[in-house]
Amino acid sequence: MDVPVRTSYVMAVVQPHERAAAASITNVPRSLASALPPLAAGWMLDQSNFAWPLLICAACKITYDLLLLMMFRNVRPPEETAKT
């Protein structure tokens, strides 16, 4: 899920007093985890003439998006569940 979409969704489904904690829980690990993949991708590109890093990243991204869809497909923000 792209960062603006994820941030908007997280802010919509958590209580207002929990938003700062939710933002830190979703942003800090993503920032920390972004340091290592370039090293691994460079090493894999150096070891092979094939685009393994691109294929591995695509598979991870598709898996991540499908898991998010499965986990949150029935969760609606309060604005969408309020009956008028």
Ordered per-residue pLDDT tens for the chain, 84 residues? 577 777 888 888 888 899 889 888 888 877 777 777 788 878 888 888 888 878 888 898 889 888 888 888 887 777 777 665
**pLDDT tens digits, 21-44:** 988 888 887 777 777 778 887 888
pLDDT of res. 50: 82
pTM above 0.85, yes or no: no
**Which three-class secondary structure string do you get for the chain?**
CCHHHHHHHHHHHCCHHHHHHHHHHHHHHHHHHCCCHHHHHHHHHHHCCCCHHHHHHHHHHHHHHHHHHHHHCCCCCHHHHCCC
Residue 17 is predicted with a pLDDT of 92
